[in-house]
Amino acid sequence: MSTKAQEVALDRLLVDRFKNGDGAAFDEMVGRYWNRIYSMVNQLLRNPQDAEEVTQDAFIRAHRGLANFRGESAFSTWLYQIATNLARNRYWYWWRRKRDKSVSIDAPLSSEGDATLADIIPAEVETPDDITVTQELVSRIGLGMERLGAKHREILVLRNVKNLSYEEIADILGISIGTVKSRIARARESLRSKLGEDFK
């Protein structure tokens, strides 16, 4: 049995124990996943305090929802989805509060495409309070997108602008879902590195 399969099997046992009234089972889940969830959220938000709050909230929501968890996906997948959605909500909340009102977060980034600022603002920001979104920043992100290789630009547009699923992108590009995910990750990292200087 692979490590992944063992993890999934153990999670399933813990979920069953929890549903049968064993409160300690959830504590074990928290112990197993806290650091992994916190690490992921902190990478998204780049703010330890926010990451701590989002991680706590993710486990609170998981605790509330676990009785109805049907196990169609792995528990870890479900938990990551909860945490990712919460992190995304937190991230856009402060952008909407802090941005310069003169620039729309939905403004197109370049004349060539319809990607918007909201699609690709990098998660490398250390101090969101110090940043205002200006037309210059919109232009820089547009230029950053244009400097990406064709494969990376294409996959960000399919995912972020067209809102296609991994499965749809895999079908369109004739590649595996795993390749889609890794290419998106590399494309975002490449864009962030090109924009990194703008956020220091």
Chain CA centroid to CA 54, Å:
12
171/177 Cα distance (integer angstroms): 9
Taking only Cα atoms into account, the Rg of the chain, rounded to an integer number of angstroms, comes to 19
- Return the pLDDT at 115: 53
Instruction: Give the residue-averaged pLDDT of 55-71.
Output: 91
Predicted confidence band of residue 66 (pLDDT cuts 50, 70, 90):
very high
Q: CA 86, CA 53: separation in Å to the nearest integer? A: 10
Q: Higher pLDDT residue, 174 or 163? A: 174
pTM over 0.75: no
**pLDDT score at 125:** 42
- Residue 98 to residue 94: CA distance in whole angstroms: 6
175-192 pLDDT, tens digit per residue, is 899 999 999 888 888 888
| Fold of the 101-199 domain | Arc Repressor Mutant, subunit A (1.10.10)
Cα–Cα distance for residue pair 99/130, rounded to 1 Å = 10
Q: Return the pLDDT at 28.
A: 94
- Helix, strand, coil percent content, the chain, rounded in steps of 5: 75, 0, 25
- Fold of domain 3-96: Rna Polymerase Sigma Factor; Chain: A (1.10.1740)
Task: Give the mean pLDDT of 15-24.
Answer: 94
> Positive or negative, the Cα torsion across 62, 68, 71, 72?
negative
For 113-126, what is the mean pLDDT? 48
pLDDT higher than threshold 80 for residue 39: yes
Write out the DSSP string of 108-148.
Answer: BSSSS---BHHHH--S--S-GGG----HHHHHHHHHHHHHS
Contact criterion met (CB below 8 Å) for 15 and 21: no
pLDDT at 100 over 60: no
The residues spanned by each domain of the chain are 3-96, 101-199
Q: What is the pLDDT of residue 126?
A: 38
Give the H/E segment covering residue 183: helix 177-195
pLDDT category, 15, cuts 50, 70, 90?
A: very high
